[in-house]
């Protein structure tokens, strides 16, 4: 009789432990899912965490009874939490790698743009100003162009200017040489008046020596009464060590 009462009490005690374990397991599952929701974890991750928890709980209950059930529940909750943390870290790593790839692509694009700008800057800029017959005065339009050129030179202090003055073949060589020089010097004066240092400007007078116009071709003559303006970046001389 005593043995039967003992078995009944033991059974009731085991059932009580099992009920307590179930209550604790339910609370842990609820807490784990709530924690997942607060962390904005996807439904897939939440389900995986709960699955690990449930599997560990059942295995613990089967192998070791109520005590094993509780231990399994605790282990399952811990494993589920660690799985969630691991997946969050993997998501962060993937996001970081994507950001790095975007930065690399942007950097390559900027390097290509810089290379294009450097290449364009290395190309000389050329334009012409024309003069009436026997004259060395700049027109109003050409004065405006010289103003724009001076502003550009101020923004690019390493650039220099080369001027080449010309004359049409009418007149003597001596006269044309002087006239072509005066035309070049009028451009120099316009630039220095606008703040460009004279040492940044070089000029040459060619007279009519390079004329290609046919004799009597007035239209061709008009194209030879000019100053050619070239803006360029000087080539740096190599530096040599002195021993």
Mean pLDDT of the chain: 75
Q: How far apart are CA 191 and CA 221, in angstroms?
A: 26
On the question of pLDDT at 44 being above 80, the answer is: no
Q: How far apart are CA 176 and CA 211, in angstroms?
A: 11
| Average pLDDT of the segment spanning 63-74 | 53
- Is residue 108 in some structural domain? no
In terms of domains, do 163 and 221 share one? yes
The domain in which residue 23 lies consists of: 2-94
Q: Residue 161: how many CB atoms within 10 A of its CB?
A: 20
Q: How far apart are CA 190 and CA 203, in angstroms?
A: 13
Q: How far apart are CA 30 and CA 144, in angstroms?
A: 80
- Under the banding of pLDDT at 50, 70 and 90, the label for residue 93 is confident
Judged by DSSP in three states, 162 sits in strand
> Can you name the residues that pair with 231 across neighbouring β-strands?
125, 161
CA torsion angle 191 192 197 201 (round to 10): 50
| Average pLDDT of the segment spanning 1-24 | 49
CATH number at residue 140: 3.30.1330.60
Q: What is the pLDDT of residue 122?
A: 55
DSSP alpha helix (H) spans, 39-139: 43-122
Domain end marker among 77, 94, 111: 94
Higher pLDDT, 52 or 210: 210
Length of the chain: 243
In terms of domains, do 19 and 87 share one? yes
| Average pLDDT of the segment spanning 42-70 | 51
- In tens, the pLDDT along 142-160 reads 999 999 999 999 999 999 9
Q: Residue 26: name the closest of 47, 50, 52, 43 by CA.
A: 50
- Is residue 171 in some structural domain? yes
In terms of domains, do 227 and 135 share one? yes
In terms of domains, do 81 and 137 share one? no
In terms of domains, do 77 and 132 share one? no
In terms of domains, do 130 and 90 share one? no
CB 18 within 8 A of CB 70: no
Tokens of 141: 């339009």
In terms of domains, do 130 and 76 share one? no
Q: Residue 154: name the closest of 105, 97, 192, 119 by CA.
A: 192
- Is residue 207 in some structural domain? yes
Q: Residue 168: name the closest of 218, 216, 225, 212 by CA.
A: 225
- Is residue 6 in some structural domain? yes
CB 192 within 8 A of CB 161: no
In terms of domains, do 86 and 148 share one? no
- Helices 43-122 and 2-38 pack at an angle, to 10 degrees, of 20
In terms of domains, do 70 and 6 share one? yes
| Average pLDDT of the segment spanning 214-225 | 94
- In tens, the pLDDT along 78-91 reads 666 677 778 788 88
In terms of domains, do 90 and 128 share one? no
Total count of domains within the chain: 2
Higher pLDDT, 11 or 75: 75
Share of the chain above pLDDT 90, in %: 44
């Amino acid at each position: 009789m005593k043995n039967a009462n003992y078995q009944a009490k033991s059974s009731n005690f085991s059932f009580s432990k099992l009920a307590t374990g179930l209550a604790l397991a339910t609370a842990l599952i609820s807490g784990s899912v709530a924690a997942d929701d607060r962390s904005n974890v996807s439904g897939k991750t939440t389900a995986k965490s709960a699955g690990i928890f449930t599997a560990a709980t059942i295995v613990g209950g089967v192998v070791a009874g109520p005590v094993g059930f509780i231990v399994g529940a605790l282990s399952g909750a811990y494993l589920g939490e660690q799985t969630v943390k691991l997946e969050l870290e993997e998501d962060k790593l993937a996001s970081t790698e994507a950001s790095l790839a975007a930065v690399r692509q942007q950097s390559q694009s900027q390097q290509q743009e810089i290379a294009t700008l450097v290449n364009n800057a290395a190309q000389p800029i050329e334009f012409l100003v024309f003069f009436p017959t026997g004259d060395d005065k700049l027109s109003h339009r050409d004065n405006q162009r010289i103003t724009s050129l001076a502003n550009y030179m101020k923004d690019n202090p390493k650039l220099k200017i080369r001027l080449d003055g010309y004359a049409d073949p009418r007149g003597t060589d001596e006269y044309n040489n002087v006239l072509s020089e005066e035309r070049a010097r009028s451009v120099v004066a316009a630039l220095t008046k606008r703040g460009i240092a004279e040492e940044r400007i070089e000029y040459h007078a060619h007279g009519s020596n390079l004329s290609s116009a046919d004799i009597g071709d007035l239209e061709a003559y008009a194209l030879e009464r000019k100053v050619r303006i070239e803006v360029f970046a000087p080539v740096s001389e190599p530096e040599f060590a002195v021993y």
